[in-house]
Structure formats: structure tokens, C-alpha cells
Structure 1
Amino acid sequence: MKMILLFLMSVCTVAAAQAQEQPLKLVAFEGKAQGTYYIVKYLAPDTASLQGRIDSVFAVIDQSLSLYKPGSLINQFNASGDVKMDEHMRNVVDKAMYASKATNGIFDITVKPLVYLWGFGVTKPSFRGVPPADSIKKALSYVGYRYLSVKGDHLTTTKKGVQIDCNGIAQGYTVDVLGRFLEQQGIRNYLVDVGGELCAKGVNQQGKSWRIGIERPAPGDTTYEPIQAMVELKNMGIATSGNYRRFFDQGRTRFAHTIDPVTGVALHNQIISVTVIAKDCFTADAFDNPLILMGVEKGLKFIAQHPAYGLEALYIYKAADGSIKEAYSKGFSQYFFVP
């Protein structure tokens, strides 16, 4: 009996070694979700696609956090001011409150009334332009993360009429959830991209860190293209906030969809984009909007003064002479890919 057991153990050991030696193949697919695109790439012993199961993960998260989905938990809260959260909504709300406190309210998911006032909500506006000052003041009276109360798995508001919009953080969260799903399938090397928010783990098919291009506007400011430099990511998340995808121009001023919850005014500085790298995409996405609202000088100072957040950022902005400039935090340069 002992000899048989030893033989079986040796067979299992050989089989495990052979499985580990199987060459990994690149599997890649893309689709539409959360009002944008998604791309998933990973290395696996076979080319069986997990896209159907990935789509199911999106569906579950949308049932929690999508403003587009009737009956979602977030829409239930916005209708009544009270909801029993699932795990996804609880995670996002907790992270949002954390980011709000860290930035003194520059990040705030109760910004929804302002988002709609400026014409950037989920419904197509009949008019998009700078709202009257009194309308901004009225909308601001319903904005403030301190109006939210979390007790156990219940989210309530202490002020009637307060509503939330998690679009500024939900995609980063989704990216990390998809990454964890892949890991549960035994996948250790992958890249997940949801609307430009990404996480990268392990290596690509060449056995090197995943390489990602950072967008910048092309001439005319209506499209975008990768900058000459790229970044290499391994076990990190990256998120970008910019003014070149959803915006309107009024006079000579461009107003982007990122709304300052403190002033009630849409982003209209000379910053084109800020790209944030952090330990995970959830964290990067939580801070990219606050950093673009802070501006280059204050944003870089914030990162330097708060190393515990683990943030690095690259700003692309328009200088006074119209030229495109870049500025980045001290640790960002370590991620640049140099051929």
C-alpha cells in the first residue's frame, strides 16, 4: 500500500509539473459596458474565453451602481434617501467617503445635482451651458458627503433631496473586481481596461511588464493620441481624468464634465488630463478627479504631503503660450518605459 501511495504521489507531482510547464497563450476580447468600452487580456494555458462570465460580473455591478439601470440600488437610494447596500455599493460608498475626507470634500459622490445642472447627467440635456449662479447655489445646498450616513449595510441621508453619482469611482472599482475574478480562475497575468481605467498584474506575452500609452489631445483638441512616452505597470492600477472627451465650449472657455463639489463649477482650467498610478485602480480612480480640480501645483503638493495614499501623477496641461506641457510627481518617472 505504501508503494502504491508513493507511486500515486509521484504521478501527481509529475502531472502538476507538466501543467505548470504548459505554455501560456494570450487571450483577448473586448465589449461594451457601463456606457464605455472594456478590454481584457490575460495569459492562460488554453484560449477558452471568459467573456460571458465577465459580462455577468458587469451586470451584477450595474444592478448596484448604474444610474442607467432602473431599479438599481443607487437609483433606489436617489428616489427614497434610504437603501440596503450590497457588497459592491458598500465598498464604493466606503471608498468615496474615505476620498472625501482625504481631499476635504473635493471628491464627493453627492455631486449628482450639479452634474445634471451642467448637462452631464445620464439623460440628454435640452440645453448645455453655464448655469445661472442662483441655480448653482441651489444645487450646492444638496451637495455634501456629510449628509450621508452609513449604519451597517444601510445608506441613508440626513437631508431630503440629496442624491449620489458614483460614476467618478465605479469604473476603477469594477476594474479591480474583474481582476480579482480572473485571479479566482487561476490567472496571474492580465490587463483589464474599462473606459481607460486599468489594472495590470504579472507580465504580458513577452514576459515583460504591461505597457500602456497615456492619451493627449491631437491638434484641434477634439481627438486624442498616445504621447511618445509610455508607462510600464506591474501589479498597479492607473486612472485618467481629462477635459477632452465630455465637454462643451462657451466663448473661449472649455467646461468639462468634472464638477467641483465645493464651488459647484465645472472644470475649466488649463489642465488637459491627469493620470494617476496607485496600488489599485480603485484608489487611482478615487483621486484622479480631485487632483485635476486641484491643479498642477496644488495637486503635486498634495501627493508629496500625503505619501501614505501611495499616489503618483502625470499632468498634461496647456501653457500660456498654447504649447502642451507635462509635469509629474517625483515617483512617476519610475514607470516610464524607455526603449
Structure 2
Amino acid sequence: MRTSRRNWITALALVLMLGLGWWYRSTRPAPRAWTGGVMGTRYSVQVADPLPERRADALRRKVHGRLREIDGLMSTWNPESPLSHFNDHTATNPVSIPRELHRVVAAALETARASGGAFDPTVSPLLAAWGFGPKAEDRDPGAAELDALRARTGFERLRLLPSARLRKTHPGLQLDLGGIAKGYGADAAAAVLREGGVSDYLVEVGGEVRVRGRHSSGEPWRIGVERPGSDASGAARLQGVMQLTSGAVATSGDYRNYRLDKGGRRLPHLLDPRAGRPVRSDVAGVTVLADDAMTADALATALFVMGPDAGLRWIEPRPEEALFLVRSNGVIREIPSSGFETRAAYRSPED
């Protein structure tokens, strides 16, 4: 999988800056930290538990192996993955898939239904037509082409069946889990650490973050919310800081992965599946706080598509929290859900 929503360098830099910058304040050993590449992006792990070198190396290998395993199941860039085989199947009879893939597809479809289609794992042909994804074309599609593509997209055309089977109702339907798989990967890597007896960790996969416990300083893990745009030097800036001892964070935004159309207008890689077109709004980004990274990952996309009015109405009854960053008269305005600031212990980066 190639990263499709965030610049991993920025995400990693923010995590390291906010976490590793506190090492000198701690009387405990500095966290074990490592990075790697998988799923078409980068990941980073910090473990605050004091670990012998041999145990740390074993965990490092297990985390990397687990992420490679997930990539092998869900990559649309790998023609031999089970997901690619399903996409290549141009018939409507049921196809058996690995049970783990079946569970992730079930979660994606649950979010698609709950969001009224604002999140949809079948939009990859539309993304390609607008110039994004593994089969992207550098052009702007016309109305007739979009209508034809929409006829073979839509989560309603995917049937999840018992015994780990999946069926298309249109032979041209394509499934892409890029909007949920990195979050699932962060959760899976965190599970490897927990099973290895680790109680204090931070895992980040392509910008999706899962944390537990505390930094070696004794303080909560600090996660930065990036301010859309950059300073004069091109460096990322912080909008705010979350302080967490458990949970997960994901962000969707239009300021990293976009292209310009023929008229010079910015086209974000985030599509409104219901319209078949890139989202055009004043929303610059949405950060979601949830119990697990897979949920946060999918909801960040859905809320970006919905926008703050509909999005806040939708998320308020739910257990997750969200922060919308909206462009308004040349400044970024924060619009949080009612419990976001308290649950995230959110504050200005200067505090």
C-alpha cells in the first residue's frame, strides 16, 4: 500500500519531536525507539518500558513481521495479495478470503453504512480517474465517465458472507482498504507489544497513532495536531497538542496529498463517494480520537467528507471525539466535538 493521506515524514517528525524531546527530563532509561517501512509508508515505535536489548530486538522483529503480514493481505499494489485477487475476480460468485481480511472488510462496511456512504472502500476507480491511487491517470474525468464509474462503485454492491466469503454484485467493483488498513496495522502492532508484556508504548503507522501508558518521563504521550500549511522554510507547524495515556488518533486533511486540475484548483485525494468527486469545502483537516486506530482512521475520512455541521451532528452521540480545522478568512478555526478538548487534554503547543 502506498501512503495516500498523509506525509509520513511530517507525522513521524511530530511524534518524535513531542515524545523524544522529553527524554532528558526522565530518570528512567530513554524509550526504545525504532522505525521501518511497510504498507507503502513508514512506521515508528516507542517503548518506554525498560527492555533488555535481546527482548527489544525480538519485539522489533515481531512488529515488523506483523505489519508485513497485514500488507500482504490488504495491498492493492501487490498483485499477489488476497485483496488484489478479489479485485481481479470479474464475476459475481462468492470468493473465499482470509478471515483477518474478512474482519477488516466488515469494519469498513460498518463505517460505510453508519456514515451514509461518506466512507466507502469501493471508490478506487473514481480515485484513479481523478489522478490518485495505483492506477491513477493524469486528467480530469468528464460527467459521462463519472456516471459510468459510479455504476460500478458503492459499498452496497459488496456482500459480506459467512465462512469468510465476499461477493460483488457488479463484476467491475474494486475494493481498497487504504482508508482503514494503516489504522488496523497500528492496532495490530500495539497488540504485539501488549502480548510481549509491554505496558507503555506509542505506535505510529503512516500517521495513525495508538498509545498506551506513559512516556519514560512519566508524562502522558504527547501527539501533535499539524497546522495546515507550512512556515516559510517549509517546516510543519503545530496547531495543538494532545496528551494521552490510552487510545488512538488519526487525521485526514487536504494539505499534503492533492493535485491541481486543469484550471489550477486544488483537488484533494479525498473524494465524496456519494458525488464521485473530490471534496470541495473549507475543511482543511479532521483529527479523530477513538479507542482504536482502525476506527479513528475510517472516521477521519468520513468526517472530512461530511464537513463540520453534518459531521458533528453524526459524531456527538458516538463515543469518539473529533476536531475540525476549517479555513476562515485566512486563518485556521478549530471546531471540536463537545468532549474532544477534555478527553484529549488538548492545549496550545506553546503551553
Question: TM bucket by the smaller chain?
Answer: 0.7 to 0.9
- Specify whether residues 205 and 58 from structure 1 end up closer, same or farther in structure 2 by C-alpha distance, changes over 3 A only: same
**Is the aligned partner of 1:46 residue 2:52?**
yes
Distance in 2 between the 1:72 and 1:56 partners?
16
Secondary structure of the residue that 1:100 maps to in structure 2? helix
> Which residue does 1:249 correspond to in 2?
260
Percent identity between matched residues is: 33
Distance in 1 between the 2:219 and 2:326 partners?
30
Structure 1 residue 115: Cα displacement: 1.2
Structure 1 residue 142: Cα displacement: 0.8
Distance in 2 between the 1:103 and 1:237 partners?
20
TM-score relative to the length of structure 1:
0.87
- Specify whether residues 79 and 213 from structure 1 end up closer, same or farther in structure 2 by C-alpha distance, changes over 3 A only: same
> Which residue does 2:79 correspond to in 1?
70
Higher relative contact order (CA 8 A, sep 6+): 2
Secondary structure of the residue that 2:214 maps to in structure 1? coil
**Is the aligned partner of 1:206 residue 2:211?**
no
- Specify whether residues 84 and 25 from structure 1 end up closer, same or farther in structure 2 by C-alpha distance, changes over 3 A only: farther
TM-score relative to the length of structure 2:
0.84
Q: 1:141 aligns with which of 143, 151, 159?
A: 151
* Higher mean C-alpha displacement, 292-301 vs 47-56: 47-56
Q: Which has the larger radius of gyration?
A: 1
Structure 1: give runs of 5+ residues left out of the alignment.
1-22
8 Å CA contact 1:217, 1:224 repeated in 2 = no
**Is the aligned partner of 1:270 residue 2:282?**
yes
Structure 1 residue 77: Cα displacement: 0.4
Q: 1:294 aligns with which of 306, 310, 323?
A: 306
Secondary structure of the residue that 1:262 maps to in structure 2? coil
8 Å CA contact 2:230, 2:236 repeated in 1 = no
Structure 1 residue 229: Cα displacement: 2.1
Partner AA of 1:290 in structure 2: A
Q: Deviations over 1:42-61 (max 9, x none)?
A: 12332433322222112211
> Which residue does 2:88 correspond to in 1?
79
8 Å CA contact 2:226, 2:239 repeated in 1 = no
Partner AA of 2:114 in structure 1: A
Distance in 1 between the 2:288 and 2:89 partners?
35
Structure 1 residue 124: Cα displacement: 5.2
> Which residue does 1:91 correspond to in 2?
103
Q: 1:332 aligns with which of 325, 340, 346?
A: 340
What do you get for the CA RMSD once the two structures are aligned?
2.0
Partner AA of 2:52 in structure 1: D
Distance in 1 between the 2:240 and 2:292 partners?
22
Q: 2:199 aligns with which of 188, 193, 198?
A: 188
Structure 1 residue 88: Cα displacement: 2.5
**Is the aligned partner of 1:30 residue 2:38?**
no
> Which residue does 1:312 correspond to in 2?
321
Partner AA of 1:265 in structure 2: R
Q: 1:60 aligns with which of 66, 69, 79?
A: 69
Secondary structure of the residue that 1:227 maps to in structure 2? strand
- Specify whether residues 201 and 177 from structure 1 end up closer, same or farther in structure 2 by C-alpha distance, changes over 3 A only: same
- Specify whether residues 252 and 221 from structure 1 end up closer, same or farther in structure 2 by C-alpha distance, changes over 3 A only: farther
Partner AA of 1:149 in structure 2: R
Structure 1 residue 211: Cα displacement: 0.4
Structure 2: give runs of 5+ residues left out of the alignment.
1-27
8 Å CA contact 1:95, 1:286 repeated in 2 = no
Distance in 2 between the 1:185 and 1:145 partners?
37
Structure 1 residue 337: Cα displacement: 4.2
8 Å CA contact 2:229, 2:255 repeated in 1 = no
Partner AA of 2:32 in structure 1: V
8 Å CA contact 2:76, 2:84 repeated in 1 = yes
Distance in 1 between the 2:37 and 2:170 partners?
36
- Specify whether residues 220 and 142 from structure 1 end up closer, same or farther in structure 2 by C-alpha distance, changes over 3 A only: farther
Distance in 1 between the 2:73 and 2:188 partners?
13
Distance in 1 between the 2:218 and 2:310 partners?
38
Distance in 2 between the 1:140 and 1:120 partners?
16
